[in-house]
Amino acid sequence: MNSHLDYLDGNAAAGELSRIFTMDVTAAEGQCAHCGATKRFAEAHLYMQGPGVVARCAACDHVLLRLVNVRQRVFLDVRGMTYLCLDTSQLQQSSK
Ligand SMILES: [Zn+2]
């Protein structure tokens, strides 16, 4: 391990997540299933070097979310979060 920061913040996942969620997940608040920390997803540590995206808890480094694209499918693993709380008030602003 080197001392360089090898991760981005959760905002870097906005593009990938916007392909499957209509709401902005980076603004959502999630609870880490490992340490119980509740933070905005944008604060998560994001690793994008692999075949997909891995978001880790900023407090304990536990995996919160994994997203992998395989051909025409997206695999989303969110078991690292107890919950993800989305603010639906933003839905009213994006009516078509
Ligand atoms: Zn944690």
Q: How far is the CA of 19 from the centre of ligand 1 (A)?
A: 26
The C-alpha atoms of residue 8 and residue 24 are separated, in whole angstroms, by: 17
Q: How far is the CA of 91 from the centre of ligand 1 (A)?
A: 29
Estimate to the nearest angstrom the gap between the alpha carbon of 94 and the chain centroid. Answer: 22
Mean pLDDT of the chain: 89
The C-alpha atoms of residue 53 and residue 83 are separated, in whole angstroms, by: 19
For the chain, percent of residues with pLDDT exceeding 90: 67
Q: What is the mean pLDDT of residues 36-65?
A: 95
Residue 1: per-residue pLDDT: 46
For residue 70, give Cα distances in angstroms to 4, 27, 52. Answer: 30, 26, 9
Length of the chain: 96
Query: Taking 90 as the threshold, does the pLDDT of residue 79 lie above it?
Result: yes
Q: How far is the CA of 90 from the centre of ligand 1 (A)?
A: 27
Q: How far is the CA of 29 from the centre of ligand 1 (A)?
A: 13
**Where is pLDDT greater, at 96 or 84?**
84
Query: Taking 60 as the threshold, does the pLDDT of residue 2 lie above it?
Result: no
